[in-house]
Structure 1
Amino acid sequence: MTKKNPAHVAHCRCGAVEVGAWSEPIVVSACYCDDCQTAAQRLAASANGAPAASADGGTEFMLFRRDRIACTRGADRLQAMRLTAASKTRRMIAGCCAT
């Protein structure tokens, strides 16, 4: 894959972390499961948190091929987040601003 300008760019609220994707997403959707709803509430309630759920309560996401997405800035600030040790879902958040 030639890394020219990414088709999609996302960054954390403070701008320290940036992720680029070099293709269109495989899936664009929203999740309404208990795990995603709870995670969105916890992130929003954190000291630096921003709303993570849409107005209807869904957690929106885009899914890309693993070889078409990369952290382009601030990878050292990414942290894995699981609601409990038994949670199957692992989210990556920017530790600098909890987004």
Structure 2
Amino acid sequence: MTSTTHLTCACGKLEMVVTGEPFITTECHCNSCRDAGERMAKLPLARPMMEENGGTRFVLYRKDRFEITRGKDLLRGYRLSSTAPTRRVVAACCNSPLFLEFKGGHWLSLYSSLWPEGQAPKPEIRTVTGDRGADVMLDDAIPSGTWQTMGFYGKLLTAWIAMGFKVPNIEIKEEAVI
């Protein structure tokens, strides 16, 4: 039997359902995620995007295992520039961070803050820690490094193969540069 997880924005007007287990969970430290986190922190966000160490925790699902069951018209996308390949999506009703989507991507990186306190899947790896520079020390609680990153890309490819190389589109009517 396949499990489903119901997730909502902070005010409950938008509801999403994910089916099965995520294919990987991460804590990203790339410049883009940190820059977006800092810019979006100026919005009255209902939930946090970033961890205390500056990373962003994501729970990755294939797009074909994700559905918005209520409030699809409340999706608002933000990009770092008009040509940015990623967009961060929030619920317009309460500014709850929902997910990050890569242009042409077959997966969604859902913000772990969507899960109730203490119920989000724990991150398996840290990604793009090299963007942090030598002056930032991260603990060893979550593995990071070249081999883990190669495994991350392997899981992305395996998920895409399982989807038959499809790339479902998520339509968002309202989008802005932050």
TM-score bin, normalised by smaller chain: 0.7 to 0.9
Q: Is 1:29 aligned to 2:31, yes or no?
A: no
Q: Name the counterpart of 1:40.
A: 37
Q: How does 1:1-99 map to 2 (within 5 A)?
A: 7-99=4-96
CA offsets 1:3-35 (integer angstroms, 9 cap, x no match): x98532322122211211011001100111111
Q: Aligned residues, how many?
A: 96
Give % identity: 35
**Separation in 2 of the partners of 1:6 and 1:90?**
28
Which structure's residues are more often helix, by fraction? 2
Tell which has more relative contact order, 1 or 2 (C-alpha 8 A, sep 6+).
1
**Separation in 2 of the partners of 1:21 and 1:29?**
17
- Contact between 1:48 and 1:98, CA under 8 Å: does it hold in 2? yes
Q: Structure 1-normalised TM-score?
A: 0.82
Structure 2: gaps of 5 or more residues: 97-178
Displacement of 1:44 in angstroms is 2.1
**Separation in 2 of the partners of 1:70 and 1:90?**
18
Q: Structure 2-normalised TM-score?
A: 0.49
**Separation in 1 of the partners of 2:41 and 2:86?**
18
CA offsets 1:56-89 (integer angstroms, 9 cap, x no match): 2111111112111111211110112111112111
**Separation in 2 of the partners of 1:6 and 1:44?**
33
